[in-house]
Amino acid sequence: MDYKTVLTTCAYCGCGCGLYLEVLDGQAIGTIPSKTNPINEGKLCVKGWNIHEFVQHPKRLTKPLMRKNGALVETSWDEALDYTVSRLKEIKEAHGSDSIGFFASAKVTNEENYIIMKFARAAVGTNNVDHCARL
């Protein structure tokens, strides 16, 4: 049995409480509040206490999907990525950079948001980037 706790940050609201994920043999099995984190000081709310429950839920997507004959079917990364890139290129060539839009996300990390906006701006050449901050 391999048990460990990993200090991380709650992903359920903008408070940003510090918590430890309990991991047993590669499964996230529980949550422990950080006592020293300046925001939560040893507390969590009901969402934080249960945040490990969604992580390895059976409904998680495990493979890329592509629409074939009207239905979404599992496919390989290579095929999904190549198809995505070829479609984005075609559309950019036919209709210009500003015919493509991006939704960045208030749920992913800073680094990921930065990479999304860099890809949109530097690679595709559009400033059509927004996220649901407004929502």
45 near other proteins, rule: CB under 8 A = yes
Tell me the two tokens of residue 38: 């300046």
User: Contact letters (x/-) for ligand SF4, 17-56, by CB under 6 A?
Assistant: x----------------------x---xx-xx--------
| Count of chain residues binding other proteins (CB under 8 A) | 100
- In sign, the C-alpha dihedral spanning 59, 109, 26, 30 is negative
Q: Residue 33 and residue 19: Cα distance in Å, rounded?
A: 4
32 near other proteins, rule: CB under 8 A = no
124 near ligand SF4, rule: CB under 6 A = no
114 near other proteins, rule: CB under 8 A = yes
Q: Residue 7 and residue 40: Cα distance in Å, rounded?
A: 13
H-helix or E-strand spanning residue 31: strand 27-33
106 near ligand SF4, rule: CB under 6 A = no
